[in-house]
Structure 1
Amino acid sequence: MRTETVRPTGAADGTRDQRLPLGALAALATAAFITIMTEALPAGVLPSMGRSLRVGESAMGQSVTIYAIGSAVTAIPLSAATSGWRRRRLLLTAVAGFALANTVTAVSGHYALTMAARFVAGVAAGLVWAMLTGYARRMASGPLQGKATAIAMAGATLALSLGVPAGTLLGQAFGWRIAFWSMTVLAIVLLAWIALAVPDYPGQPRGGRAPIAQTLRLPGVAPVLIVTMAFVLAHNILYTYIATFLDRLHMADAVDLVLFIFGLASVVSIWVVGAHIDRRLRFLTISGTILFALAATVLAVLADSAVAVYAAGTLWGLGFGGAATLLQTAAADAAGTSADTAQAILVTLWNTAIAAGGVVGGLLLDNLGPASFPWSVLVLLAPALVMVITARRHGFPSGRLGASA
């Protein structure tokens, strides 16, 4: 994405720079990359991790769940407790948490210790996600805050599309511990990058953080959060059990290809969202929801065709890839000066939906079979689409000029 001439907030002294600070935003994108890589990496090396720690794959799979739980249960209280911290100090602390947690995971020979490290990593992720959007928005002028957010969030999409497959290959070739060591090295490099290139901003004064109940009463905040919960839950039911769903279609060997197609389409999605979010947030959110619903419909009624499955993967990626940027931007716009509190709530709901996706998907699998997954996506997306369409004045307004963070 090219550098544009804007008037973003500069360093901590409030001066104005003449360009969108791509180096600083890329550092935030790398932080997002690390959070997703650390979360999803066990899925790619699950059998070897389980053998090393002498537990079954099901037990080892809970290392992903406990990461999500760590984020969900600590995002709100920790972001409130650290609201007065300067932003760069807080970001450095969170990234240092990743370095520590991934190092412990890489050297641990005990399941309990590994799970504790995974919980700590989830806590660090909760801090990063709760501050990432607000940090990015403070680097840009109002009309380009959405684009700044899209650049910062691009790291998450790249992690899903390219990072996780690469990490899996690295783990398979050299051992799963090397894969986690690589995350430690990246985190250490990022610490230096943040210290040198990312501008610092003050936190909120004591008592300046908006209470949760007050934030939820702001027009538009609740609709955005409801859409977030439905959208992310729908995605994670399908994503968590995509291998099981494809195995039913005798496409077990195509799981990597389907996810690769999904990942590439997600990269396209985040690029499109980044280019247009500052003027067309509502249109993009409606379009993304419809594209995801079309993907689920294809999987529900045309899944006997491999070509249709690949087409569905493309539609799915196009619909979901920019969702994090759209929803976090919508929440920040709706919350205004209470944006940090809204982001913490959104992070909690997002990670709750990740954890719930495995549980709900498991119940669907046991009671209705894998064919129920795409239908469950449609059941969740239908009210989400209605909510987006009806929240025309607040939440997902027709016109978006960008608000100061």
Structure 2
Amino acid sequence: MTTTARTPTTTGSVPATIPWSALVTLAAIGFVVLSAETMPAGLLPLMARDLDTGEGVIGQFISVWALGTVVVTVPAITLTRGMRRKPLLLTTLTCLVIANAVTAASSDVVLSLVSRFGGGAATGVLWGMLAAYGRRISPPSRGGLALAVVSTGAPVGFALGTPLGAWLGGVADWRWSFVGLSVLGLVLLLLAVLLVPDVAGQPAGERLPLQRVFLLRGVPVVLVVIFVWMLGHNTIYTYIAPFLRDTGTGLTADLVLLVYGVCSIGGVLLTAALIDRHPRGLLWASLGGFVLAAVLLVVGHATPAVVLGAAVLWGLTFGGAAPQLQSALTIAGGAESDLANAFLPVAFNLAIAAAGLVGALLIGVSGGLVLAVSMAVLGVVALLVTVAGRATFAARG
């Protein structure tokens, strides 16, 4: 039996205006979080060669980050629900900066993997609080807009962070990509100190037990969609270089990721324009387009124009996935949106960890081209889940 969400309780004074500078800062933190997580996907061959290891091992740089998020996020958010938000934000962002700096400096694979695990742990806490933080520092009547602004960080990280990191690694050295993330993290740390207001944690008497939050109506459905869709996306995204190599098209990972990334921004804009009025139709169209992009990669993998066209459609349809699903999860969580959102990075990162392992297995057994097939199959499964749980994705005020 499921439990319905309660009406959120406002703590402290009600904000009178949208704090744009603070929301953009939170969104930029989301950009750094996502870029840091997926950066090795665009640098796979360069990192493998420099660290004298295989591409499958570098793929685990993403998986171990995801594992850190999975292991730490829910316990950390559960234990920190009563803490004031700003000190928690600054502490975890500092840990992220340190983790990226260690990755940039390390020449030891084991140390690099440890730093990646630590970075994943820090970002799990960040993901669990960013969306609800943005809503709480904004007027209640503009909570949806605040969530949309904060949620753009993740898709823009997918859109630009990884392609830019791949480009910088190609023209300079892969380590400079992680140095850049560390510097940007320091800048955002300063901006957060100056621009982001503090809010209180959740009073002890208002907190639901963890298992009851998980069973809030709609939460399990959203989490299943997140896991399956992300697994379909990230299995090929992580190993895009081996996939492209096996197509024989001569297309490079940085070019395809850039095309995908630019079009992902278009997906974010489409989501912002349609999500309040047509959330369910938007989600179905996004998943349908994602499956079509995968089919194009399967049947037209030998033609550069088809592969690039599929990358365009891939970006347009997956670019808005994070804000669409985060919005659904935040609404389903109600007053427990912080803890409900803590499940989001767990689902995402379970999928990312699985994608690193599944992708390595698939390319080891069948080569890179099979990754497009897995993308299509998992996209269809995610679409079927949204149809079965369609009430979860309807518009709600």
Once residues 82 and 383 of structure 1 are traced to their aligned partners in structure 2, the CA distance between those partners, rounded to angstroms, is 35
Is 1:199 the counterpart of 2:208? The answer is no
Matched with 1:225 is: 223
Matched with 2:261 is: 263
Q: Percent identity?
A: 39
Letter in 2 for 1:362: A
8 Å Cα contact 1:147-1:278 kept in structure 2: no
Matched with 1:342 is: 340
Q: What are the ranges of 5 or more consecutive residues in structure 2 without an aligned counterpart?
A: 1-7
1:235 alignment partner, one of 227, 233, 236: 233
Is 1:17 the counterpart of 2:16? The answer is yes
Q: What are the ranges of 5 or more consecutive residues in structure 1 without an aligned counterpart?
A: 1-8
Q: Structure 1 residues 245, 104: closer, same or farther in 2, change over 3 A?
A: closer
Is 1:396 the counterpart of 2:388? The answer is no
Once residues 192 and 351 of structure 2 are traced to their aligned partners in structure 1, the CA distance between those partners, rounded to angstroms, is 30
1:346-404 CA distance string (max 9 Å, x none):
211110100111222233334444443233223222232222223233x211x222xxx
What is the correspondence of 1:368-379 to structure 2 with a 5 Å cutoff?
A: 368-379=366-377
1:332 alignment partner, one of 330, 333, 341: 330
Matched with 2:305 is: 307
8 Å Cα contact 1:211-1:341 kept in structure 2: no
What is the correspondence of 1:97-136 to structure 2 with a 5 Å cutoff?
A: 97-136=95-134
Q: Structure 1 residues 373, 70: closer, same or farther in 2, change over 3 A?
A: same
8 Å Cα contact 1:68-1:352 kept in structure 2: yes
TM-superposed CA distance for 1:268, in Å, is: 0.5
What is the correspondence of 1:159-174 to structure 2 with a 5 Å cutoff?
A: 159-174=157-172
TM-superposed CA distance for 1:47, in Å, is: 5.2
Matched with 2:3 is: none
TM-superposed CA distance for 1:253, in Å, is: 2.9
State the secondary structure of the residue aligned to 2:278. helix
Q: Structure 1 residues 400, 354: closer, same or farther in 2, change over 3 A?
A: same
Once residues 242 and 52 of structure 2 are traced to their aligned partners in structure 1, the CA distance between those partners, rounded to angstroms, is 24
Q: Structure 1 residues 143, 266: closer, same or farther in 2, change over 3 A?
A: farther
8 Å Cα contact 2:16-2:138 kept in structure 1: no
Q: Structure 1 residues 303, 227: closer, same or farther in 2, change over 3 A?
A: same
1:287-321 CA distance string (max 9 Å, x none):
11111011112222233332222221111111100
Once residues 380 and 56 of structure 2 are traced to their aligned partners in structure 1, the CA distance between those partners, rounded to angstroms, is 32
8 Å Cα contact 1:171-1:179 kept in structure 2: yes
Q: Structure 1 residues 110, 303: closer, same or farther in 2, change over 3 A?
A: closer
- Higher RCO structure, 1 or 2 (CA under 8 Å, sep 6+): 2
Matched with 1:250 is: 248
1:285 alignment partner, one of 249, 260, 283: 283
8 Å Cα contact 1:144-1:278 kept in structure 2: no
State the secondary structure of the residue aligned to 1:279. coil
What is the correspondence of 1:54-65 to structure 2 with a 5 Å cutoff?
A: 55-65=53-63
Once residues 346 and 284 of structure 1 are traced to their aligned partners in structure 2, the CA distance between those partners, rounded to angstroms, is 20
Matched with 1:5 is: none
Matched with 1:158 is: 156
Letter in 2 for 1:292: F
Matched with 2:91 is: 93
Instruction: Please identify, of 200-209 and 96-105, the stretch whose mean Cα deviation from structure 2 is larger.
Output: 200-209
TM-score (norm 1): 0.88
Q: CA RMSD in A?
A: 2.4
Letter in 2 for 1:349: A
Letter in 2 for 1:210: L
Q: Structure 1 residues 184, 282: closer, same or farther in 2, change over 3 A?
A: same
TM-superposed CA distance for 1:76, in Å, is: 0.5
TM-superposed CA distance for 1:80, in Å, is: 0.9
Q: Structure 1 residues 58, 289: closer, same or farther in 2, change over 3 A?
A: closer
What is the correspondence of 1:132-143 to structure 2 with a 5 Å cutoff?
A: 132-142=130-140
State the secondary structure of the residue aligned to 2:201. coil
Q: How many residues matched?
A: 389
Instruction: Please identify, of 251-260 and 281-290, the stretch whose mean Cα deviation from structure 2 is larger.
Output: 251-260
Q: Structure 1 residues 376, 145: closer, same or farther in 2, change over 3 A?
A: same
TM-superposed CA distance for 1:223, in Å, is: 1.0
Matched with 1:6 is: none
8 Å Cα contact 1:26-1:152 kept in structure 2: yes
Q: Structure 1 residues 219, 61: closer, same or farther in 2, change over 3 A?
A: closer
